[in-house]
Amino acid sequence: MKVLVSVFNNLYTDQRVEKVCRTLSENGFSIELLGNNWGGLPEMTRSYPFSRIILKSTVLRYAYIEFQWKLYKKLLKRADNETILLANDLDTLLPNYLVSRKLNIPLVYDSHEIFTEMPSVNGRFTQKIWRSLESFIVPKLNFMMTASESYADWFRKTYEIERPVVVQNFPLKTANPQRYSNINSKKIILYQGVINPSRGLDKMIPAMQEIENAEFWIAGDGPKKAELEVLTKVLGLNDKVKFLGKLLPEKLREITHKADVGLSIEENNGLSYYFSMPNKVSDYIQARVPVVVSDFPEMRKVIDNFGAGEKIHNHTELAEKVKIVLENGKQFYEDSLNIAAAHHCWEQEEPKIIQLFRAIRSQNS
């Protein structure tokens, strides 16, 4: 069967969608991936067909509306009775649902987060709109995946549905890339990801005043970047805080290997963050880089179950916990990280996808 996969981004850096598409393609499904030009049109190659819907809107809320209509028309044109629709996140769900009902074909909803509980929509009028859409469609779905155990529990309880299949967004398993050299050089503290509100970065930058012989590298871009650059300058920390910008995946992996500690220090300003297992945590683990994470339900497991670093109960502990990891050194955590890496890998997750889509194919063949 053909799987029409849709997502609201330009496809280039969405590693979860790429891994899902590749897994299905390698297991007998014909994949077509649909995205858009929000964020540009970088050149890319994939082993399956893809296209990007051109949006004329330059304001996000209008781009969402434009995308809904254009995606609906595209799906309706491309789908037939041998098609499975795969909608990634709430911003693609409505057109997929309408086409699924119109053509009577199966739809899988993959919720990468709890979209309606993200800090960017909390307390805003748009939150009510997204909640209305979610509460209207989700209880009617037959097939759903999500990215953490806590997300699955939330959806099951909130909408009284069968618990979604949990497919965590882990990277492919790799051998330990560390060489444990440059022991006397400056230590590297790394944050990778979007520079959004509630990521804890405005707390980590001042904490660098208490951490000697180290640099804080921020790999990513986003709406809070300019504000954080000003904060860095005001505090006189330009020699200790480096903004690397948005990096290509291969360059980001190279940077991650160099780090001595990786940060995922989100603030509890929405259930989507609180229940998340961020991609960057498992990326650090596969690079065998110990972590400092917020004491949230999913992230704390890498500390409690594997001893892969330290957790913070509040952001006043940042300097203390980071210094503990730096003083211990990466090699101190090697065995713990090797065990964690064997669990936090895509090879553990993809059988769940294959089982789900094969079951759907059997039901609809």
**CA 188-244-279 angle, 5° bins:** 75
The radius of gyration of the chain from alpha carbons, rounded to an integer in Å, stands at: 21
AA letter at 15: Q
Span 165-213, pLDDT tens digits = 999 999 999 999 998 766 558 999 999 999 999 999 999 999 999 999 9
Do residues 162 and 156 touch, judged by C-beta distance below 8 A? yes
Span 94-109, pLDDT tens digits = 999 999 999 999 999 9
Q: Does domain 2-169+346-364 have CATH number 3.40.50.2000?
A: yes
The average pLDDT across 156-171 equals: 97
Do residues 90 and 133 touch, judged by C-beta distance below 8 A? yes
What per-residue confidence (pLDDT) applies to 182?
60
Span 274-302, pLDDT tens digits = 999 999 999 999 999 999 999 999 999 99
- Which of 296, 298, 220 minimizes the C-alpha distance to 265? 296
> Measured between alpha carbons, how far is 16 from 9 in angstroms, rounded to an integer?
12
The answer on pLDDT for 332 being more than 90 is: yes
Say what percent of the chain tops pLDDT 70.
99
- Judged on CB neighbours under 10 Å (0-12, 13-18, 19+), 335 is exposed
Q: Which two tokens stand for residue 8?
A: 């609201």
Do residues 297 and 275 touch, judged by C-beta distance below 8 A? yes
Span 2-20, pLDDT tens digits = 999 999 999 988 889 999 9
Question: Is the whole-model pTM more than 0.85?
Answer: yes
Q: Which two tokens stand for residue 82?
A: 């041998």
Handedness of CA 247, 249, 254, 260 (dihedral sign): positive
Q: Which DSSP category does 273 fall into?
A: H
CATH superfamily of 187-343: Glycogen Phosphorylase B; (3.40.50.2000)
Provide the residue ranges of all domains of the chain, joining segments of one domain with +: 2-169+346-364, 187-343
> Measured between alpha carbons, how far is 169 from 148 in angstroms, rounded to an integer?
8
What per-residue confidence (pLDDT) applies to 184?
58
- Same fold: 2-169+346-364 with 187-343: yes
Do residues 252 and 219 touch, judged by C-beta distance below 8 A? yes
